């Protein structure tokens, strides 16, 4: 897919070598067809091939150029306040199962690296921090949930790593909740702003032209957030991404953001 006007390219896609493959010709027989060459499909195909299956990996575009090509490149088992959320909604055991799966996934990636991927992989503590005074209790709850889940305590690496989770409070920082209008945006700036009394996802391009689309992701309605690095609207819920004019860059959304 061509990069929409105004959108910055991902560092990884800009700098990493991108393998290309010819289109599949004719018929073939395989044990398994894996659809999608992101990290999920690549990992699935690799593990199946190692188990001795013949695998056909089918990618509609180029390998690794979907969501996988746009990550911040961290691999973590600590995701904001997920442990306390799962513990509250599904109980301690579910939170523990989730934690074990996250740990196993992280270590799976680390093992791939050990097998010979030169990517400057380093282990670092995970920091979860509050950005508003009212969030302090949520962070404290998460610290308790992520360190006291029984089965997780049996996983020393997780325990060690999370005992170092920095619970940083930026509580003194007072956020400006002032309502901004789209005309207030500076060149290159995107934000949730107001236009004619309606909340919009607004952006002013480098030429000064204003762009505005709906703030609601067309997948399940979460509010999109501005990605200043790539100049895109990203949905925090399931990863849909949109250009400043609302075009779909990544699913699961299947409809563009309307104006
Ligand atoms: C902005 C952002 C930052 C993130 N940062 C991180 C991070 O730092 N660390 C982390 O762990 N996770 C991060 N994530 C989440 C993580 O990137 C995703 O969970 C992961 O990359 C999803 O991989 P995937 O293989 O499932 O999907 P994708 O990478 O999107 O791969 C799916 C592939 O399937 C192909 N495809 C789709 N339909 C078809 C079809 N019908 N036929 C053939 N091919 C098809 C697509 O072209 C695509 O290449 C981030 C997500 C986003 C949006
Ligand atoms: S609600 Fe936006 S991706 Fe699901």
- Domains belonging to the chain, first-starting first, are 19-64 (no CATH), 82-169 (no CATH), 182-250 (2.102.10.10)
Residue nearest to atom 27 of ligand 1 (CA): 38
* Ligand 2 lined by 249 (C-beta under 6 Å): no
Residue nearest to atom 3 of ligand 2 (CA): 238
Distance from C-alpha of 131 to C-alpha of 168, rounded to nearest angstrom:
9
Residue 177 has pLDDT above 70, yes or no: no
215/135: higher pLDDT: 215
Q: Which atom of ligand 2 is nearest to the CA of 217?
A: 2
Which tens digit of pLDDT belongs to each residue from 29-87?
A: 999 999 999 999 999 999 999 999 999 999 998 999 888 888 888 898 888 788 888 98
Section 227-234 average pLDDT: 92
* Ligand 1 lined by 60 (C-beta under 6 Å): yes
* Nearest ligand to the C-alpha atom of residue 23: 1
Which strand (E) or helix (H) includes residue 88? Answer: helix 82-90
Buried b (16+ CB within 10 A) or exposed e, 30-56: eeeebebbbbebbebbeebeeeeeebe
Section 207-212 average pLDDT: 95
Q: Does the predicted model carry a pTM greater than 0.75?
A: no
Share of the chain above pLDDT 70, in %: 85
Distance from C-alpha of 131 to C-alpha of 45, rounded to nearest angstrom:
40
Section 190-218 average pLDDT: 94
* Ligand 2 lined by 235 (C-beta under 6 Å): yes
**Closest C-alpha to 1, from 51, 50, 69, 55:** 69
Say how many Å lie between the CA of residue 238 and the centre of ligand 1. Answer: 10
* Ligand 1 lined by 35 (C-beta under 6 Å): yes
Say how many Å lie between the CA of residue 38 and the centre of ligand 1. Answer: 5
Instruction: Give residue 234's pLDDT.
Output: 93
The total number of residues shown for the chain amounts to 259
**Three-class DSSP category at 212:** strand
Q: Which atom of ligand 1 is nearest to the CA of 58?
A: 43
* Nearest ligand to the C-alpha atom of residue 240: 2
Residue 135 confidence class, pLDDT cut points 50, 70, 90: confident
**Closest C-alpha to 80, from 127, 134, 148, 149:** 127
Instruction: Give residue 178's pLDDT.
Output: 64
Share of the chain above pLDDT 90, in %: 48
Instruction: Give residue 173's pLDDT.
Output: 30
Say how many Å lie between the CA of residue 39 and the centre of ligand 1. Answer: 7
Question: What mean pLDDT is reported for the chain?
Answer: 83
Distance from C-alpha of 174 to C-alpha of 97, rounded to nearest angstrom:
37
Section 161-187 average pLDDT: 56
Instruction: Give residue 148's pLDDT.
Output: 66
Instruction: Give residue 5's pLDDT.
Output: 66
Biggest distance spanned by C-alpha atoms of the chain: 64
Residue nearest to atom 33 of ligand 1 (CA): 36
DSSP for residue 223: B
Residue 175 confidence class, pLDDT cut points 50, 70, 90: very low
Instruction: Quickly tell me which residue has 């894996």 as its tokens.
Output: 34
The helix/strand count (H/E) of the chain reads as 7, 11
* Ligand 2 lined by 81 (C-beta under 6 Å): no
* Ligand 2 lined by 251 (C-beta under 6 Å): no
Say how many Å lie between the CA of residue 122 and the centre of ligand 1. Answer: 22
């Amino acid at each position: 897919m061509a990069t929409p006007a105004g959108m910055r390219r991902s560092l990884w896609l800009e700098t990493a070598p991108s393998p290309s493959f010819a289109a599949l010709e004719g018929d073939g027989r395989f044990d398994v067809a894996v659809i999608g060459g992101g990290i999920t499909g690549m990992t699935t195909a690799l593990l199946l091939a190692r188990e001795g299956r013949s695998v056909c990996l089918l990618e509609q575009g180029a390998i690794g150029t979907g969501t996988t090509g746009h990550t911040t490149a961290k691999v973590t088992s600590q995701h904001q306040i997920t442990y306390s959320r799962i513990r509250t909604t599904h109980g301690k055991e579910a939170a523990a199962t989730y934690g074990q799966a996250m740990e196993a996934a992280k270590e799976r990636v680390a093992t791939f690296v050990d097998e010979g991927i030169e990517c400057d992989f380093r282990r670092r503590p995970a920091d979860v921090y509050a950005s508003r005074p009212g969030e302090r209790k949520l962070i404290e709850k998460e610290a308790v949930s992520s360190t006291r889940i029984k089965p997780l305590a049996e996983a020393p690496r997780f325990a060690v790593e999370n005992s170092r989770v920095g619970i940083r409070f930026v509580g003194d920082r007072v956020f400006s909740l002032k309502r901004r209008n789209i005309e207030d945006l500076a060149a290159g700036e995107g934000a949730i702003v107001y236009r004619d009394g309606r909340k919009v996802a607004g952006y002013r391009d480098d030429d000064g032209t204003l762009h505005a689309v709906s703030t609601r992701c067309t997948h399940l309605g979460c509010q999109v957030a501005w990605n200043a690095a790539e100049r895109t609207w990203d949905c925090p819920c399931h990863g849909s991404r949109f250009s400043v004019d609302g075009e779909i860059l990544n699913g699961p959304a299947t409809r563009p953001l309307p104006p």
